Amino acid sequence: MISLQHVSKEYVLSQEQKVSAVIDVNLEIPAGEFVIITGRSGSGKTTLLNIASGLAKPTQGKVFIAGQDLWELSDRQQSMLRNQKIGFIFQFPSLLPTLSTLENAALPTIFSSNHQSDNPTERATELLAQLGLGDKLVAYPRQLSAGQQQRVVIARALLNQPQVLLADEPTSDLDEQTEIEIMELFHQIHQESGITIVLVTHSSELVRYGTRSIKMAGGHILNENL
């Protein structure tokens, strides 16, 4: 589903200062896996995830998504591929405070040229109900708990029926109990839909929720437990 081949990313801070955030990473993520990437802060997890989704361009190497060489595509083809195949949960997800739960969850369809979900409001309503928010459709983010807000973010990422869900530290702002609840939700979504998930976290305790774990340090992949 996702293939990274000799991928590196260097950030240029100044003429003398460069940061090698990701160094020569090879990674194959077959469809249907739930991969958990762990590593300390600064180890390159976010950079790697952004490369895997096409949000960041690698300095070197190739990125294939569903068999397509991402950086060989035109801008338009690339954003279509992203819109149709990938759901993304950012490290600091933002719900718009003036939109309701339902409006927040249905938001991506505004930017999507993918009309397979003909009635986005209906699909969002259904998804929110599945995620336990059926009675919160008209509530605003401030009226929801942190865990409920994160469920809205997850619904929003799933709205376009992506084949891959990429999540960057989706539980880092949550208390321990809510973290467990949200990780169990990812596990359940994976079991029920067979969607490919790549989830990044600094907490190695969470690897038990996935089907495979990968550890990063200093821009490298250290080990892989299959």
Q: Which does 54 bind (CB under 5 to 8 A by kind): Mg ion, ligand ADP, none?
A: none
Q: Is 50 in the site for Mg ion (CB under 5 A)?
A: no
Residues 6+ apart with CB under 8 A from 92: none
Site size toward Mg ion (CB under 5 A) is: 1
Closer CB to Mg ion, 53 or 100, in the complex: 53
- The amino acid present at 82, given as its one-letter code, is R
Sign of dihedral through CA atoms 63, 69, 72, 73?
Answer: negative
Assigned token pair, 219: 């821009």
What Å distances lie between residue 197 and 17, 49, 87, 175, CA to CA?
Answer: 34, 11, 9, 22
Least distance CB 16 / ligand ADP (angstroms):
14
Q: What is the spatial distance between Cα 54 and Cα 49, in angstroms, rounded to a whole number?
A: 9
Least distance CB 90 / Mg ion (angstroms):
10
Per-residue contact flags (x/-) with ligand ADP for residues 8 to 47, judged by CB under 6 A: ---x-x-----x-x-----------------x-xxxxxxx
Q: Which does 32 bind (CB under 5 to 8 A by kind): Mg ion, ligand ADP, none?
A: none
Q: List contacts with ligand ADP (CB under 6 A).
A: 11, 13, 19, 21, 39, 41-47
